[in-house]
Amino acid sequence: MPRQPHDSAGSDMEVEQMAEREGVTEQLKTDYQMKWVAQMNNIRSRVAEIVNHDMIYN
């Protein structure tokens, strides 16, 4: 299903899927909070770039 502009539910789903693929788990959050935060921030930034690119160029 194509993403719609301002579709935060789609963005949230992409963040969850990327986190799962990259092994960013609740266990990591419990054991190494700062590492988890850094990895989640990185994933959110990449998803935002993808969404922005899609909105601008498609």
Instruction: For the chain, 58 residues long, give each residue's pLDDT as a single digit of tens.
Output: 454 555 577 799 999 999 999 999 999 999 999 999 999 999 999 999 999 999 999 8
Listed in sequence order, the residues at least 6 apart from 45 whose beta carbon sits closer than 8 Å to its beta carbon are none
The confidence score (pLDDT) of residue 13 equals 95
The confidence score (pLDDT) of residue 45 equals 97
The confidence score (pLDDT) of residue 44 equals 97
Listed in sequence order, the residues at least 6 apart from 33 whose beta carbon sits closer than 8 Å to its beta carbon are none
The confidence score (pLDDT) of residue 47 equals 96
13 neighbors 4 (Cβ within 8 angstroms): no
Number of residues that this document lists for the chain: 58
The confidence score (pLDDT) of residue 58 equals 82
Tokens found for residue 7:
């579709």
